[in-house]
Structure 1
Amino acid sequence: MTTIAVFGTGRTEVGDDDYTEAQVIGAMLASAGYTVMSGGYSGIMEAVSKGASQKGGHVIGVTTAQFDGKRDGPNEFVKEEIKLPTARERLMYMIDHADGYIVLPGGIGTFAELANIWEMIRVGDMPQKPVICYGAFWRRVAFEFLTSKYVLMDQWTSTRFVETPEQAISILEETLKSPVPPDEQPSL
């Protein structure tokens, strides 16, 4: 099954726009037949897990022993927990085991996750995979960086900036072999 890793802040809460949009994205990913993978904790990770779980999707939470005692365990919507010793191993697992990425708003950790994906693609450690930066936040932050004279255009050709869950799913379906036969695809 095709797996999409979703990255984003652990600090958003139920009722926040970011939480609601992440929940919709999780539901749409599951409805389209994708496995949803996240860091497995709270905030956007919980929201995307909740949305996918409510649609019967498979939800993987990649957690780390390094956060034991600092964070609660995986959110209640995770169906499969993969617990790794360190945050570094957690990140590399998510990057290596995903077929595409959706990056929602977040802080330094989320930016580091995105930067690692870009760097691994740039140096050829992995093939081009779809990288979807979601919302105005990333359009401001990442787009400024990527269009600077220090980054060559061919280094980020797999990155797209979107404003809606529908756009994100559409890009995944255009760039990845669709996991669900076309006649069974949900209407967007």
Structure 2
Amino acid sequence: MSKETYENEDERIHERLKQKTWNEIRSNDSWAIFKVMAEFVNGFETMARIGPSVSIFGSARTKPGDKYYLLAEKIAEKIAQAGYGVITGGGPGIMEAGNKGASAGGGPSVGLNIELPFEQHFNPYIDSDKNLNFDYFFVRKVMFVKYSQGFVVMPGGFGTLDELFEAITLIQTKKIAKFPIILVGREFWAGLMDWIKAVIVEKYANANPEDLNLIKMVDTEDEVLEVIDNFYKKYQLSPNF
């Protein structure tokens, strides 16, 4: 099945609104199921061999030398040295820093890349046998949450927020276990957390105050590792090696 290509966004919108016959729908949409299945099977078979890992989320736009790039690199290196695998989105920026740090720390370095029209490309610090590529965001997100025993969230944009709130929602609704969610950089995250507490929780009561306990805010690599280690000790778990 070939990918759909469009000259511009208007053409894409018109194509979506165009009335289609049942045969066209069946031909295009039904066969896509097999591609989705193939991505799930490949992802499950690869990720199941890795063992306990921590996902690092963050912006693809963060440049090498930026303080958060360097911090993500240090965090990933310490995580790997402690025996945990590191999973990133496989692209540049914070993702590259995470894989670079994992490689330096001697731990599994996993990349779950998504095909995008801009920004995204594989970084060179992913283990060759742990380099996965996805067309579907929802399949990729399943791999993140199914095989992660902790989430480290660096400063980022809409994609990072999407991954953050996906993890929070799945934990809050008990669809996955209560693994630690760590926001790195109080100067970046404090405003969002203040708004969530003041507006979502207190003013409108749209979330349980206890849900905020799912999230920790830190500033250093040592604080990140402390949160992860405390979680593993509490539940008498152990990392990869």
How many angstroms does 1:89 deviate by?
1.6
- Residue identity over aligned pairs, in percent, reads 27
Return the match for 1:172 from 207, 213, 228. Answer: 228
Which structure shows the higher helix fraction? 2
Residue matched to 1:184: none
4+ runs deviating over 4 angstroms:
none
CA offset digits 1:81-140 (Å, max 9, x no partner): 122221222122101210110000001110111111111112221121110111121122
Quick one: distance in 1 between partners of 2:167 and 2:86?
17
CA offset digits 1:150-176 (Å, max 9, x no partner): 321222322111111100100000002
Residue matched to 1:78: 126
TM-score (norm 2): 0.70
Quick one: distance in 2 between partners of 1:108 and 1:114?
10
Return the match for 1:140 from 187, 191, 198. Answer: 191
- Bigger RCO (CA 8 Å, 6+ sep): 1
What pairs up with 1:1-188 in 2 under 5 angstroms?
A: 1-64=51-114, 66-67=115-116, 69-79=117-127, 80-136=130-186, 137-146=188-197, 148-149=201-202, 150-176=206-232, 177-179=237-239
Q: How well do the aligned residues superpose, as a CA RMSD in angstroms?
A: 1.7
> Structure 1 residues 167-176 or 80-89, which shifts more?
80-89
How many angstroms does 1:71 deviate by?
4.2
Quick one: distance in 2 between partners of 1:43 and 1:172?
23
Quick one: distance in 1 between partners of 2:194 and 2:78?
25
TM-score (norm 1): 0.88
| Cα contact 1:4–1:98 (8 A) shared by 2 | yes
- Residue identity in the other structure for 1:16: D
| Cα contact 1:133–1:139 (8 A) shared by 2 | no
| Cα contact 1:118–1:156 (8 A) shared by 2 | no
| Cα contact 2:54–2:151 (8 A) shared by 1 | yes
Alignment CA distance shift 1:60-1:70 (3 Å): same
Quick one: distance in 2 between partners of 1:133 and 1:86?
26
> Structure 1 residues 33-42 or 69-78, which shifts more?
69-78
- Residue identity in the other structure for 1:139: A
| Cα contact 1:121–1:155 (8 A) shared by 2 | no
Answer with 1 or 2: which has the greater Rg: 2
Quick one: distance in 2 between partners of 1:84 and 1:180?
26
- Residue identity in the other structure for 1:126: I
Q: Which runs of 5+ in 1 are unaligned?
A: 182-188
